[in-house]
Structure 1
Amino acid sequence: MMHFKELIVWQKAMSIAREVYRLVPHLPREETYGMRSQITRAAVSVPANIAEGWARESSREKAQFLAVAQGSLAELETLLMLCEQIGWFPVKETEELHRLMNEVGRILTTMRRRRREEGEGK
């Protein structure tokens, strides 16, 4: 079995986290413990849960962690959209990030479906 670091979805999720850390210094200083903290936690949760799920033995456990990663991705998307609507992040600055998040979301959906099918086949 391949190591989680070899997974394209994990690599792309790490790119998302790095990009989020590049963006958050542009948030207002008073958001250090509010929006900044919440955005970075959601961004880090995506690759962390992919890695933890990949290390699990059962398909059911893997699927659970992939579901958490997908939930964190949805949370991150919501927070970024709010920051864009407030005017903290210019939409032009987040276009690539949204593209990456959509791609990771599609991959996670496919992976979760496969895990469910593996679990049903047992």
Structure 2
Amino acid sequence: MAEGSSRTDKSFSRFIAIALGSSFELKTQLIIACNRNYINKEQLTKVEAKIQEFQKKTMGFKISSQSLFSLFYKTYR
């Protein structure tokens, strides 16, 4: 996301979408790890909660950044 922060609103939104997609992929990989007994259910639950928190914050950030980009471009165009 840091890489996309200096780009346009559309491009930055794409970077946020990629970060969210990666978090869903991570969750899938953790479920597989749990099913193969690499991690236990308690560990899975803890990390899933952190992933969910990241996803919520990232979606909130995406919504607020879209508002900020919109306001910025209206002001400085």
Q: Same fold (TM over 0.5)?
A: yes
Letter in 1 for 2:2: A
Aligned to 1:66: 16
Aligned to 1:111: 61
Deviation at 1:94, TM superposition (A): 2.8
Residues paired across the two proteins, number: 72
Within the alignment, does 1:51 sit opposite 2:31 as a pair? Answer: no
CA contact 1:66–1:108 (8 Å) conserved in 2 = yes
Larger Rg: 2
- Which 5+ residue runs of structure 2 have no aligned equivalent? none
Deviation at 1:120, TM superposition (A): 5.5
Deviation at 1:52, TM superposition (A): 1.2
Determine the C-alpha separation between the residues in 2 that align with 1:108 and 1:53.
14
CA contact 2:23–2:51 (8 Å) conserved in 1 = yes
Q: String of CA shifts for 1:59-97, please: whole Å, max 9, x gaps.
A: 222111011000000000011011112222111123322
Q: String of CA shifts for 1:5-34, please: whole Å, max 9, x gaps.
A: xxxxxxxxxxxxxxxxxxxxxxxxxxxxxx
Aligned to 1:80: 30
Letter in 1 for 2:59: T
Deviation at 1:51, TM superposition (A): 1.9
Identity across matched positions, percent: 19
Letter in 1 for 2:33: C
CA contact 1:62–1:115 (8 Å) conserved in 2 = no
Ranges of 4+ aligned residues in structure 1 off by more than 6 Å: none
